[in-house]
Amino acid sequence: MKPIFTIHPLKNSGFQEANQVQPYHLPVFAFLFLVEGEVLAEVNGKNILCGPGQFLMVPENANIVVKHFNQCSGFDGCFSINYLKDASYGVLHSQSPCLQSFWFDDAVFMAALMKRMLIAAEDKDKVFLQNALDLLLCQLRTGGQVAAIPEQFLQMVFEKENAALSVSDYAQLLKVTPNYLNKTVKNHTHRTAIDWIEIARLNLAKQLLKDKNVAIIDVARLAGLDDQSYFSRFFKKKTGLTPSQYRSSL
């Protein structure tokens, strides 16, 4: 394989709706660094939430599905292992994604480094890029994953075509109390459990509304809200449009 390195500025305006982003499979390492916003991605069947100041590296040949993003800015890109000067870093030989947090001055440094890498890529300055990748890779630890309960919760909430349940229902399935579920999800994702349930419910409703053969009352039921009037108020509050207006805009 020809050596590969790419880096791009990441802007929320460059994305489609999360449920319109096609799943993809890359034969190279992919990376993402967020300055602002959040991205929830499923990597090889596991949900990983990346927020401000976090760097996510995905191993070669991973299957990636973007499930949610919000107000994102930062950088993303990819590289092949034969682009590197040194391929001995442990993180390169793990089959699991690596999620690393950088706080305060370190996050500022990371953002500045990414900007410099962007310029170096435009200038085709391979020497600088290889040195910058060495600097990044030596700071990454293997095994940086979302804690078990939040990861399992997100996996359940975003199961394809399944209506989102209540916090109590998910707590029962996970064999924890609703209070513990809310606390641990908030601590690890900076959003409450109900926030994620509403995000998943809204994404599913948008997908269902694309099929004009599905009545809106059925969209409400399939999204987990049996009361159509409540569903309409919920949908308008989140999107600024009623379900009918959203369907007409497609």
Final residue in a domain of this structure, among 137, 172, 194: 137
- Could you report the per-residue pLDDT of 29-73, keeping only the tens digit for each? 999 999 998 888 989 888 888 989 999 999 999 999 888 888 889
Global pTM reads 0.68
Q: Which pLDDT score, from 0 to 100, does residue 158 have?
A: 79
Based on the fold, state whether residues 222 and 194 are members of the same structural domain. yes
Based on the fold, state whether residues 95 and 204 are members of the same structural domain. no
Q: Which pLDDT score, from 0 to 100, does residue 219 have?
A: 93
Q: Which pLDDT score, from 0 to 100, does residue 147 have?
A: 63
Number of domains forming the structure of the chain? 2
Flag whether pLDDT at 114 surpasses 90: yes
Final residue in a domain of this structure, among 137, 171, 191: 137
Per-residue confidence band for 132, with pLDDT thresholds at 50, 70 and 90: very high
| Cα Rg, the chain, nearest whole Å | 20
- Could you report the per-residue pLDDT of 37-47, keeping only the tens digit for each? 888 898 988 88
**How far is Cα 102 from Cα 79, in angstroms, rounded to an integer?**
21
Give the pLDDT mean for 176-191.
87
Residue 101, both tokens: 């947090």
Based on the fold, state whether residues 130 and 153 are members of the same structural domain. no
Flag whether pLDDT at 198 surpasses 50: yes
Per the structure, the complete domain to which residue 34 belongs is given by 5-137
Final residue in a domain of this structure, among 137, 171, 197: 137
User: Taking all residues of the chain, what is their mean pLDDT, rounded to a whole number?
Assistant: 87
Q: 37: helix, coil or strand?
A: strand
CA angle 13, 231, 222 (to 5 degrees): 90
Per-residue confidence band for 160, with pLDDT thresholds at 50, 70 and 90: low
Based on the fold, state whether residues 161 and 117 are members of the same structural domain. no
Q: Which pLDDT score, from 0 to 100, does residue 172 have?
A: 93
Q: What is the DSSP string of 6-20?
A: EEEEEEGGG---GGG
Flag whether pLDDT at 15 surpasses 50: no
Flag whether pLDDT at 143 surpasses 60: no
